[in-house]
Each structure stands twice: as C-alpha cells, then as structure tokens.
Amino acid sequence: MVEQKPLTRQHMAARLADEFESGWLVNLGIGIPTMISNYAKDVLFHSENGVIGYGSMLPEGEENPYLVNAGGQHVDINPGASIVHHADAFAIIRAGYIDVSIMGSYEVSETGDFANWRTSGRKGGGIGGAMDLAMGAQRVFIAMEHTTRDGKPRLLKQLNLPATALGVVTTLMTNLGLFDITSEGFLMREIAPGYTPEQVQELTDAHLVISLDLKDVDVQV
C-alpha cells in the first residue's frame, strides 16, 4: 500500500516546471513559484524588478547581494541575461510577451477566478504585479496548498475573498494534485500518491472532474 503523503513545496514546484515548453518567457510569483527556477530548463525567467534571464536560487555564501528575484531571494544569472528598468519589465508584461505567470493564491474558483492579495479581516502582501500578470500573461498557473491551515477548502465553487482576476487560471498545482480549469470545472489530472479521488473531493468545495487517465504525481527533487 502506498503511503499517503501530501506533496512538498519542492515537489509542487518541480512538477509545474514540467508543464513549460522550451523557449517560454516565464514569470514566477512569490512563495512556492519562486522555487520553480531551481527545476525548470530551457526557459527564460522574467522578474518584475527587471531581471530577465535569471537562474536558480543560490545557497548562503554564494549569493550576489545585488541580484534578487521578485521575492527577494538571491539568484544566479544565466549567459545573455538582461537587467532593465522595472517600468520596462512591466511593459513586457502588459504587451503580452509572458508565456506563463505562476502565482500563489488564497483561493481559486472552478471558473478560473483567483484571490491572492487579501485575506479575511486583514490585508495580505498587497496586489503587487498580480493584476498586470493575470491580464497580460498568455497563461496563468497557480501553486498553493489545497486547504487552509485549519483544513478549510481553497478550491471553491466561487471566491469568498476579493478577486485578483476572473476566469484566467488555466492550471493549478496543490499538495494533493495537478488540476486543469475546464468548462466543467476542476479536472484532476494527477493525484498525490496514496490518496484517492474521494479523499481529495472531501477537501474540496467545488466538484472535481476526474480524468480518465488519472495517475500519481511522479516527480523527483
């Protein structure tokens, strides 16, 4: 019997990296998404602070104190990279050149709405560039925990929190599986090892559509 174990943040990041196509221009949001630069290959990473072409995060002692991603983590820089004004970095977003933006979120609805800037009763980290990215990127992926810390669902029929953008999320990665947003709602393509679709459904407010080709998430970190 396979041990029931939610995916780690590293596993989530590595699995989403496998969704990229060679040559994509990719923007990574704060949180789990920033880890993706440690795993993705053959893509170009874009950051709102003006670093275009950065690489993996660097361990303590090897960092360049003047080179960080949008989340403030120290990163490597790849040959051919560019450093531009942040206004130019946003111009790239607004012109539609970002192939995919990966962001964290507090909630995602079955119609592809997401909320990632304000929680109930208190403001979160602020909207930042999320609204620009949500409307400017060709695709929006979300990486987040499947439930809140007290076990409440985050995959909802409709949002409870103020929306960042409506109908833009195409793919969602949680610690329980990989989902596409379709006209029928959340389509579960892959599931965390040891879990059943029924167990994941119990932790989900919205109805889940189960892929006929459902398989375990299989990724090495």
87 φ/ψ angles, rounded to the nearest 5 degrees: -65, -35
pLDDT at 59: 87
What average pLDDT does the segment 178-203 reach? 97
Decide if pLDDT at 124 tops 60: no
Decide if pLDDT at 161 tops 60: yes
Alpha helices, DSSP H only, in the chain? 9-17, 86-94, 130-136, 197-202
Among 172, 169, 186, 174, CA closest to 135:
169
CA distance 65 to 114: 33
pLDDT band at 191, cuts 50/70/90?
very high
CA distance 105 to 134: 12
CA distance 111 to 99: 21
pLDDT at 172: 98
Decide if pLDDT at 125 tops 70: no
Q: What is the pLDDT of residues 69-121, one digit of tens each?
A: 888 899 999 999 999 999 999 999 999 999 999 999 999 999 999 999 877 66
**CA-based end-to-end distance of the chain:** 22
Active-site residue, 48 included: yes
Among 48, 110, 145, 190, the active-site one is 48
What average pLDDT does the segment 28-46 reach? 95
CA distance 77 to 68: 10
Q: Is residue 89 within 8 Å of 49, Cβ to Cβ?
A: yes
pLDDT at 45: 97
**Mean pLDDT, the chain, whole residue set:** 93
Q: Is residue 119 within 8 Å of 53, Cβ to Cβ?
A: no
* Domain segments of the chain as ranges: 9-216
What average pLDDT does the segment 19-48 reach? 95
CATH architecture of 9-216: 3-Layer(aba) Sandwich (3.40)
What average pLDDT does the segment 197-216 reach? 98
pLDDT band at 4, cuts 50/70/90?
confident
71 Cβ contact partners less than 8 Å away, ≥ 6 residues apart:
28, 29, 30, 31, 34
CA distance 96 to 135: 9
60 Cβ contact partners less than 8 Å away, ≥ 6 residues apart:
none
State the CB neighbour count (10 A cutoff) for residue 72: 9
Handedness of CA 57, 62, 65, 67 (dihedral sign): negative
pLDDT band at 66, cuts 50/70/90?
confident
113 Cβ contact partners less than 8 Å away, ≥ 6 residues apart:
158, 159, 163, 165, 166, 167, 168, 169
pLDDT at 123: 55
